[in-house]
Structure 1
């Protein structure tokens, strides 16, 4: 009888999860929008400041590796 109670509880929890709103479930479209907007911002910043970013990264790498003057 105890096994039946466990099975019933598991099936009931599964039914509730499938039928109702689950507070643990994430907002997938929202996260997709955030990711796409972040990528768009990175591309916009890169398009405007590409030369400055490349120069800064090159200088930083040269100073770390000792390749710079």
Structure 2
């Protein structure tokens, strides 16, 4: 019984190692997309935010 448990744990440990590079790649790609979108939409978002603040403080 102990051998079965050890074998199952070894399989789980080995299976998870292959996922790490995938998660790193997904994280880097997501960060890259955020940087690109922020660079393109940043000025427009800043102006929308400033207009909203001016409307709120204008009351």
Class of the TM-score when normalised by the shorter of the 2 chains: 0.5 to 0.7
CA radius of gyration, larger in: 1
TM-score using structure 2 length:
0.59
The alignment covers a number of residue pairs equal to: 56
In the superposition, the TM-score normalised over structure 1's length comes to 0.54
| Alpha-carbon RMSD | 3.0
RCO greater where, 1 or 2, for CA within 8 Å and sep 6 or more? 1
Gaps of 5+ in 1: 1-7
More helix by share: 2
Gaps of 5+ in 2: none
